[in-house]
Each structure stands twice: as structure tokens, then as C-alpha cells.
Amino acid sequence: MLIKIENLTKNYVMGEIEIPALYDINLEINKNEYVAIMGPSGSGKSTLMNILGCLDNPSVGHYYFNKVDVSSLDDDSLSAMRNREIGFIFQNFNLLPRLNSLQNVELPLVYAGTPAQERRERAIKALDRVGLANRMDHKPSELSGGQKQRVAVARALVTNPGILLADEPTGALDSKTGEEIMKLFDELHKDGNTIILITHEQDIANYADRNIFIKDGKIHSDQINTNRTQIK
């Protein structure tokens, strides 16, 4: 088992008041699963993503990643774990505008202290994997939305992370380009990657094998997706 969340509750403290965001969540995710986490706005998706991504800790309960209790790590160990094990993909790509594709993809390896030559080779390989070998020198402003998201996927892949964590990855794309990105995720899943997708769109969740629906900070349903969209 890759991920185990046990009796997790998250409250945001704002002065005197506590805002409940997640309540008594239990969840297990295995290696090479492809899971979509769904729910309406305000249901707790981003809060859960932040915890899964080691960006935040639960208020109560435990998060085990590869049997390590993430909730017990100090800030330095948490960020080391995050950099090594989590590949983030965001709705708005989060690329650095002054860096070209190659430099953007190399960045997580810079933080990891990987030597320059190896960094470059791995970044080239990751860009090749997402079909952008011919766009290495382009800056984000010189790329289409779909290409920017591919660079972001390459950046997420370059560290060989334990999970790919994507928050509304098609939210800023037109539907055709969004489908291309979902096709890429499908291939990455077949390559053996573990993918967790956060979305409020059923169409997008339909690409995943398992759908978890959260509502008011609780797991409302957790089911195998029998209607999975087949990629042509």
C-alpha cells in the first residue's frame, strides 16, 4: 500500500474560530492506482490535495506514505519528501515565465541537488516522454495551453515521484486539448505511475479507474468506475 490515511480531520484555525474542512477521512491508495477525487466547491478537495502532497498536515489523525508517518515529519523532512515523492500538476501550469521548457523541467532536480549533466539528460527524456522534444528552448509564453501543461507534466515526472497529483489539470484548457492531456495521463498510468486527480467534473473523473466523492469534508462514496472512458 502506497498511501494510508487514518481518521484524518483538518480544521483551519482563524483567530477564535475553527473552520472544519475534512472530517474523519479514511483512505487507502495502492501503487499504480488511477484515482479521481471529486466534490463540489468547498467540499475539501484542495485541503485533501495539500495533505496528500505533503504541503500541509492533518489536525488529527495520520497520513502514511510508503509506511512513513508524514504527520510526524518536521518541515525540512516534509519538503524533502515532497520534492522526492510528489509530482504536482496544477490547473494554471505554474511554470516560471523566464525559464524555457528544459529549465522549468530541470528545476525539481536543481532542488534535489542532481548534478547538471544528469539533470539535463533526465529533463530531455521527460520532455521527450510528453512529446515536446522540439520545444525545449521555448518559454511558456511561446507555448500553447496544452503544451504548457505538457511541460508541467514533464516537470512532475522528472524526479520519478511516487505519485502524480493533479489539481484540475484540464481546468484552463479547451475540451479537445483537455482530452489530449487525459490521454497522456492514461499512458503514464499504463507506464506504472500512480495518479491522483482532483476535479469537480465527472467527464474528467471518468478517465480514472476509481472515483472518490467528497462532500462537506467527508467521503461520500468511493467506487470503482465501471463507466471508464476508453481512450482511442
When the beta carbons of 22 and 126 are compared against ligand ADP, the nearer one is 22
Which residue's beta carbon is nearest to the bound Mg ion? 46
Binding site partner of 12, from Mg ion, ligand ADP, none, Cβ cut-off 5-8 A by kind: ligand ADP
**Measured distance CA(49)–CA(32) in Å, rounded:** 18
Q: Does 43 bind ligand ADP (CB under 6 A)?
A: yes
Contacting ligand ADP (CB under 6 A), which of 3, 36, 37, 45?
45
Q: Are 217 and 20 in contact (CB under 8 A)?
A: yes
The one of Mg ion, ligand ADP, none whose footprint includes residue 131, by CB under 5 to 8 A per kind, is: none
Q: Which one of 11, 46, 50, 225 is in contact with Mg ion (CB under 5 A)? A: 46
Q: Residue 214, exposed/middle/buried by CB under 10 A (0-12, 13-18, 19+)?
A: buried
34, 36, 39, 161: which one binds ligand ADP (CB under 6 A): 39
Partner from Mg ion, ligand ADP, none binding residue 14, C-beta < 5-8 Å depending on class: ligand ADP
The minimum distance between CB 47 and Mg ion, in angstroms, equals 8
Strand intervals (E) in the chain: 3-14, 17-29, 34-38, 60-65, 68-69, 86-89, 163-167, 195-199, 210-215, 218-224
Under a CB-based contact definition with an 8 Å cutoff, are residues 198 and 208 in contact?
Answer: no
Q: How far is the CB of 219 from ligand ADP (least distance, A)?
A: 13
Of the residues 1, 12, 92, 110, which one makes contact with ligand ADP according to CB under 6 A:
12
21 is in the binding site of which of ligand ADP, Mg ion, none (Cβ under 5 to 8 A by kind)? ligand ADP
50 binds Mg ion (CB under 5 A): no
Strand order of the β-sheet with 34-38 is 86-89, 163-167, 195-199, 34-38, 210-215, 218-224
The three cell numbers locating residue 160? 520519478
